[in-house]
Amino acid sequence: MAVLNKIRQRSLFLILIIALALFSFVLADLFRNTDALTAKSQNVIATVNGIEITREDFLQKVEVAQRQAGPNATNTQVMNRVWEQEVRQAVMETQFEELGITVEKDQMRDLLRTSLASSPEFLNEAGVFDENKLNEYIANLKETSPAGFSSWVNYEKQIASNALNQNYFSMVKAGLTGTLAEGELEHKLEGDKVDIKYVQVAYSSIPDSVVKVSKSDISSYINDHKKQFEVEASRDIRFVELKEVASIEDENAIKAELKRYINGQLVDATGRKDTITAFAKVKDNEDYINAVAASDIKFDKRFLFKSDLSNEFANDIYNLNEGEVFGPYKEGGFFKVSKVIAVKQIPDSAKVRHILIPFLGSQSADQTVVQTDEQAKATADSLLTILKRDRSRFPEFVTTYSSDQGSIAKEGRYDWHPYNSMVPEFNDFEFGGKVGDIDIVKTVFGYHIIEIEGLKDPKKAVQVGTIARRIEPSEATTDKVFRDASNFEIKAGEGDFETVAKENKFTVRPVNGIKALDESIPGVGNQRPIVRWAFESDIEVGDIKRFNIPGGYVIAQVVAKNEAGLMSVEDATASVLPILKKEKKAEMIKDRISAKTLEDIAAAEKTSVKTAAGINMKNPTISGAGREPFVVGSAFGLNEGETSGLLEGEKGVYMVQVTKVTPAVKLENYQAAANRVEQQKSSIVNGRLYNALKDAAEIEDNRAKLQIQ
């Protein structure tokens, strides 16, 4: 009871102690993770001139861009593309806001009218853009398709953004003028000319081996030119790669399996033998290849000319009779057994014209496509009915209805093109018909009204069925590679990476200067996980890790952690060394020359006095020496008959003497030259303006920190 009374008496004190303990725990966690102090830092991947780019919005745009780009574009490539788009938008928005530039409702309607002027869905009977049809379309989208309406809103935003950019760039160009003074200067730079005599003592006359450049020289140059040598944080690594490659035993097993389809005998996993129809005797070749043999390359019914077959095996396959089989043979990472199923004569090229009617969901259909599959088919049927009565209307219908932009200018025509160059359904119709045939063909792009205008040069073609097996390592082989990779990772961690690799006859490959947002590792391609690992905060020099890569493993080691700042002497040597050697050679040449005339220098240096006429400042090139801006500029600072001192040029040390000065012809008016100056200024706006704005912008890039890639 006494103890309880003491606790009660000190309850306030205990509460304070507990509260302080909890508070210190929270503070400690915050200081361990300073980003937790603000939710913003967890969700903002960048700030551009105060405009935040959020993680959620950014990744949504990346997802859309990835779908549009398709499987050939890597995730990092797409992210970098979206990043540049977002930064550009933020940089330009800052400019628009400062200038008060906006796109108002009336202007937006004008922009849509211009953009959709050729879309048949929004034209009235007279072929004129009808705003009521546009309003109906937008209202219908809003009610029936949230995704479609969202896509339309983005389309409008893109049009508005393009208009704002065009207005901004036009305003900048309008503010760039060429004054009469600039015009006069331009005229003088082009028209003032001098003739000179000169002597060049080339830097190449001194061997590189006699010029000594120290590390301290390179370090001093770096410090004197810091802006040129600022670098991001980077990592140096080295790695070995172990590939999962089929062994000789694996290849022999694949060939043995394929031979069983030739012989008509299969052996299952238990060793039991089953008799099946031999490949040569099969009637339903497609089912046999795709289902029975489960070929890794599915049956393709198209016919092939000899030129379509692999050069190495073209004769072996092309010369088979119907039903004959060739193989097994090795081609393109597969072992194959091929059979000639049919032989016939096919034109090698065709000429057609077509009208493409797309529908919602068809490949390459844009936002303006509103017809369903059934509606597009009905449109195509209606047009075909008219065309069968009057084919002269074909060009008119192409212009009005076809969505194939690549053929509209040619009245829908695809001139002579080879067999198998179109999608399968299109190809089958044009090469399976006769001249004059016209009909509707459905492909992934929509409904095509196709008319065959010409067929020529029939040739022998073969239909080939192929059972293929991808050449892959067996389970036993992949297990061995895994064991080897795991053992190397352990032993390299215990000993020296290079030594252990040499003992195992593995090739060590170094990679230096990896940046935080890099994607590729030379030699193994897209390996973003390796880059992320190398930049993790707790990774130290010497750390080793094994990574799964397509077809094998990489065991990597961090060799160096290079912080952001100035480039190291070692890394800068390649670019700085030639500069310093040239400077030292210039001093050596100047120190050894005591002669004061061109002739005496030429005699002493065993060279000759050369001449150059009509030199101007606009193009500072000396005949026989090349581009030498400093030397040419120095010549224009001399009077006629005057000789310069020793001049350090790009390719050597010079002495020049001006033999003739020809001033530019004076003009009564320099407006034409001023106009040229204005055009020159205007022409560089598109290429340089945005980059200048971006360089001046305050950009905080947190992509690497948030590890979004």
Whether residue 483 is found in the same domain as residue 514: yes
Whether residue 455 is found in the same domain as residue 521: no
Question: What is the pLDDT at residue 398?
Answer: 93
DSSP 49-87: TTEEEEHHHHHHHHHHHHHHH-TTS-HHHHHHHHHHHHH
The answer to whether residue 641 is domain-embedded is yes
Q: Structure tokens of 455?
A: 């067929």
The answer to whether residue 308 is domain-embedded is no
- Under 8 Å between Cβ of 419 and 439: no
Please enumerate in sequence order all residues whose Cβ is within 8 A of that of 670, keeping only pairs 6 or more positions apart, or say none.
Answer: 180, 183, 184, 186, 187
201 class by beta-carbon count within 10 Å (0-12 exposed, 13-18 middle, 19+ buried): buried
Beta pairing, strands 273-275 & 438-443: unpaired
Whether residue 460 is found in the same domain as residue 491: no
The one-letter amino acid at 152: W
- Under 8 Å between Cβ of 206 and 589: yes
The answer to whether residue 301 is domain-embedded is no
- Under 8 Å between Cβ of 653 and 201: yes
Q: Structure tokens of 585?
A: 């050679």
The CATH number of residue 387's host domain is 3.10.50.40
Rounded to whole angstroms, how far apart are CA atoms 580 and 212? 9
Please enumerate in sequence order all residues whose Cβ is within 8 A of that of 187, keeping only pairs 6 or more positions apart, or say none.
Answer: 664, 667, 670, 673
Whether residue 437 is found in the same domain as residue 489: no
Whether residue 349 is found in the same domain as residue 463: yes
Whether residue 461 is found in the same domain as residue 356: yes
For residue 37, the 8-state DSSP code is G
367 class by beta-carbon count within 10 Å (0-12 exposed, 13-18 middle, 19+ buried): middle
State the greatest distance between any 2 C-alpha atoms of the chain, in Å, as a whole number. 118
Whether residue 459 is found in the same domain as residue 363: yes
**Bridge partner residues of 525 (DSSP):** 521
- Under 8 Å between Cβ of 266 and 274: yes
Rounded to whole angstroms, how far apart are CA atoms 336 and 412? 41
In total, the chain counts a number of residues equal to 709
In angstroms, what is the C-alpha Rg of the chain? 37
Beta-carbon count within 10 A of 522 CB: 10
637 class by beta-carbon count within 10 Å (0-12 exposed, 13-18 middle, 19+ buried): exposed
Q: Structure tokens of 316?
A: 């072996």
Whether residue 434 is found in the same domain as residue 454: yes
Among candidate residues 422, 444, 467, the one where a domain is terminated: 467
Encode 241-307 in three state secondary structure: EEECCCCHHHHHHHHHHHHHHHHCEEECCCCCEEECCCHHHCCCHHHHHHHHCCCCCCCCCCEECHH
The Cα-based distances of 643 to 597, 612, 620, 647 in angstroms read: 8, 15, 18, 11
Rounded to whole angstroms, how far apart are CA atoms 343 and 566? 70
The answer to whether residue 317 is domain-embedded is no
Among candidate residues 414, 445, 467, the one where a domain is terminated: 467
Q: Residue 423 belongs to what domain range?
A: 345-467
Please enumerate in sequence order all residues whose Cβ is within 8 A of that of 37, keeping only pairs 6 or more positions apart, or say none.
Answer: 30
Rounded to whole angstroms, how far apart are CA atoms 315 and 465? 16
pLDDT digits (tens, 9 = 90+) for 35-70: 443 445 568 888 999 888 888 888 888 888 888 888
The answer to whether residue 352 is domain-embedded is yes
Rounded to whole angstroms, how far apart are CA atoms 344 and 573? 67
Rounded to whole angstroms, how far apart are CA atoms 607 and 600? 10
Whether residue 445 is found in the same domain as residue 349: yes
Whether residue 353 is found in the same domain as residue 440: yes
The answer to whether residue 678 is domain-embedded is no
Number of structural domains (the chain) is 4
Q: Structure tokens of 633?
A: 């500029």
The answer to whether residue 229 is domain-embedded is no
- Packing angle, helices 146-174 and 131-144, rounded to 10: 130
Rounded to whole angstroms, how far apart are CA atoms 125 and 137? 17
Beta strands (DSSP E) in 573-697 are 610-615, 621-622, 626-627, 647-648, 652-662
Task: Please count the CA atoms within 13 angstroms of the CA of 310 that sit on its side-chain side.
Answer: 12
Nearest to 404 by CA among 463, 439, 364: 364
Whether residue 481 is found in the same domain as residue 426: no
Whether residue 351 is found in the same domain as residue 457: yes
Rounded to whole angstroms, how far apart are CA atoms 584 and 582? 5
Among candidate residues 449, 467, 485, the one where a domain is terminated: 467
Rounded to whole angstroms, how far apart are CA atoms 584 and 586? 5
- Under 8 Å between Cβ of 331 and 310: yes
Question: What is the pLDDT at residue 31?
Answer: 43
Helix (H) or strand (E) holding 417: strand 413-418
- Under 8 Å between Cβ of 622 and 633: no
- Under 8 Å between Cβ of 326 and 464: no
Which residues of the chain carry a pLDDT beneath 70?
1-42, 266-273, 705-709
Question: What is the pLDDT at residue 210?
Answer: 93
The answer to whether residue 543 is domain-embedded is yes
**Bridge partner residues of 564 (DSSP):** none
Q: State the pTM of this model.
A: 0.60
